[in-house]
Homo-oligomer: A and B are copies of this chain.
Amino acid sequence: MKEKELIQIIKTTLNSEYIGDDCAYLKDLGIVITQDSLVEDIHFKMDYITPFQLGFKSVMVNISDICASGAKPLYLTISLSLPKHIDDEFIKNFYEGAKEAAQDVKIVGGDLTGSEKIFISVTALGTDKGRKISSRANAKAGYKIIVSGEHGNSAKGLEVLLKHPSPVFQTPSRGEGNKKFIQAHLMPVAQREFSKQIAENINCNYAMMDTSDGLADALIQIAKASNVTLSTDTSKIPHDPAVSINTVLYGGEDYQLVACVPENFLKKISDYTIIGEVKNGNSGIEIDGIFYSDIDDKLYNHFEEK
């Protein structure tokens, strides 16, 4: 059974109105909350990531979720489960990486337990003070689709790492040109400024997500939640020429942001790229003029490298 079907069971069982966005918005408290886990050999392998990088990334992916909501990240808790062979150096380096990623966000608690594999679960809190909170259900026809940064770099980096594993930042065999991609995968950077600019300046409802599961996935999630068509051209999506279009669309873990905002709002912000627009129509995405109702083999195969 797929994750999305299982989440549907959870939603039905709990009958909760909160589950849907990356963060839950707790209006009475003025905060958003998100919790994400990283599991060894599922989300990462210790043969290519250092403890510092692991601490850094675990924190950053949760800060990215807060940024996707438009809230200002404030606090973190970290729950860490570790096998017996892990030494105190690992823990020290892990938390140094976590602290580096957190910056002014305070790490205020969590717990430490035993386990067979490394399990990391981070919870992040943000405040809505002076910020307008997004929802993926807020895209409207006529809105422009904008993104931060380049897409596909992280997936490209993972590809290189799996070919040349070694838990150091750079090995000569990986090639100098791949440094940027490896960095994007091991130490992604949450788009705090992009989020802040929008959330502090916008007066109307808007949609925003991060691209943790890939750009095409983010577009389809917004389209489905908002019941609109998101139309984009691959030529408009910022990406490195060394990264294939399939990786640009499907590659996860870039932690860039994608937002749907009114065109007349764009004059208030900078450092974004318009990749398309929101249209009335069926829930789905239109890429280079072809409509897809879901991310399926048809879409994937269309952009498969020949």
Name A residues whose Cβ lies closer than 8 Å to a Cβ of B.
Answer: 1, 3, 5-7, 9-10, 13-14, 16, 18-19, 23-24, 26, 28-31, 33-37, 39, 41-43, 74-75, 77-79, 81, 87-88, 91-92, 95-96, 98-99, 106-117, 119, 121, 123, 125, 127
In the complex, the count of this chain's copies comes to: 2
A125 x B29 contact (CB < 8 A): yes
B6 x A119 contact (CB < 8 A): no
4 nearest interchain CB pairs?
Answer: A121-B121, A24-B108, A18-B108, A13-B95
Given contacts A3-B112, A18-B109, contact A77 B33 (CB under 8 A): yes
Q: Which residues of B contact A81 (CB under 8 A)?
A: 37, 39, 42, 119
Q: Which residues of B contact A1 (CB under 8 A)?
A: 87-88
Q: Which residues of B contact A33 (CB under 8 A)?
A: 75, 77, 108-109, 123, 125
A81 to B37, CA, bound (A): 8
**5 new A-B pairs (CB below 8 Å) besides A18-B108, A119-B119, A121-B121?**
A9-B91, A13-B96, A13-B99, A18-B106, A35-B111
